[in-house]
Amino acid sequence: MIRVYAKLLAAPLAAMFLSAASTADERPIRIIPALNKAIAIDGNLKKLAPATEIQAESAAAKGSGLSARVAYWRDVLYLGIDVTGDKAAAAELAEVEIHFPGAGATARGYTYRFAPDGKRAADPETGPPALANSWVQSTTRRTDHGWVLEARFPAKSLPRFPAKDPLLLELCVTYQRRTQVAGTVAAVSNCEGGSMRGEMLRLTDDFRRALKLDLPKDVAALEGREHGWVGFALLHYPVWMISDRPMTSELLRTFFLEQVHDPVAARISLPARMHLPNGRQLAAILTGSDPFLEGGGCNPENELKMGIYVLQGRTARNVLEWPAASCKLGRASSVVVDNEGALSVAYAGGATVNFIWSGDHFERTEIG
């Protein structure tokens, strides 16, 4: 098995979420170079000659080793791996793990899987969404000394990454193959403890600029979707979406990887249409877990969340994040926006929470 573990760290904005060891890291940094043009994915790694190269050899298994090459063109990351060892077997896997810790504490990595005969379906626990997996183009080729893998990762296929901070990259490559002794594995790696030995890598800001996104100031991290991009705040909830077509409430639902609840099924009183005084449409999205149990009782660790978004052109902007159902408040029995932009949320438990429109978001005023 080959394991490629990539971590992108972003320092100043998200430093509060990184370990002291990460923020204090003073290892040398190598810049990942840009290619002169887009290249075909055909297993010919010579086209990646300008790329940054990483090598590792095995002391335990003589003759086993690998080299990895990484480069980019515009908003696409290219990776090539050349494996040296015994003849490749179809059961062997290449795992490409990519994670961006600088994107925030809730951002998770994606694990892509490849075999000598091609790309594999994503693991539901550690892998990317199926659509992201489909965006990755790859090819493998057997060689006299082993096999090679070449893969193309468009920015949308990558897990959440920093929207502004430097794109520091740790790329760990581990090759594992079964030996003739049952149950033993010979490993080859350029990393120790999940970090590169003696250095780090960095993608230049040109990679991110190629996306041509005009980001709001409070967007700290980005994540791709089928129809566009999601921007996350420093506190990790989605604050902004941009689509490749005019945004609607129905389209907005597709930008959430977590389950979006139907208000009727969740017994939350949400109007089908809400508008601000200037006519802009509002859309409400329900996420989280229903705290109320079917047999009665309530789980205080669960909560349904209501996100309210302003739709304008191709974008959706979060203007309120508030409980829709909790053990303390009960279910929201009424959500009303009046002609002056005042929002009131009444709960079955008796409380009413009031908000006023402050120009770009709803601001809480009092609890009745």
Listing DSSP states for 98-150 in one string gives EE-GGG-TT---EEEEEETTEE-PPPTTTS--HHHHHH-EEEEEE-SSEEEEE
Say what the pLDDT of residue 91 is. Answer: 56
Residue 259 has a pLDDT of 92
The predicted pLDDT at position 135 comes to: 97
Mean of the pLDDT values across residues 30-59? 88
Cα 178 to its chain centre, rounded Å, is 32
Low-confidence winner among 14-18, 41-45, 56-60 (lowest mean pLDDT): 14-18
Q: What is the mean pLDDT of residues 30-46?
A: 94
Q: What is the pLDDT of residues 298-308, one digit of tens each?
A: 999 999 999 99
Mean pLDDT of the chain: 85
The pLDDT tens digits for 335-345 are: 999 999 999 99
Show Cβ contacts of residue 69 under 8 Å, excluding neighbours closer than 6 positions.
45, 48, 51, 52, 53, 54, 78, 79, 80, 81, 82
In this prediction, residue 58 has a pLDDT band, given cuts at 50, 70 and 90, of low
**Distance in angstroms (rounded) separating the CA atoms of residues 224 and 228:** 6
Helix (H, G, I), strand (E, B) or coil at 208: helix
Q: What is the pLDDT of residue 234?
A: 85
Q: What is the pLDDT of residue 236?
A: 79
Report the alpha-carbon distance of residue 37 to residue 34 in Å, rounded.
8
pLDDT above 90 for 85: no
- pLDDT, one tens digit per residue, over 226-281 is 999 999 998 778 999 999 999 999 999 999 988 999 999 999 999 888 999 999 99
Which domains, and CATH codes, for the chain? 2-209 (2.60.40.1190), 221-367 (no CATH)
What is the mean predicted confidence (pLDDT) over 204-232?
A: 95
Q: Is the pLDDT at 156 greater than 90, yes or no?
A: yes
β-pairing, 195-196 vs 191-192, is antiparallel
- pLDDT band (50, 70, 90) for residue 5: very low
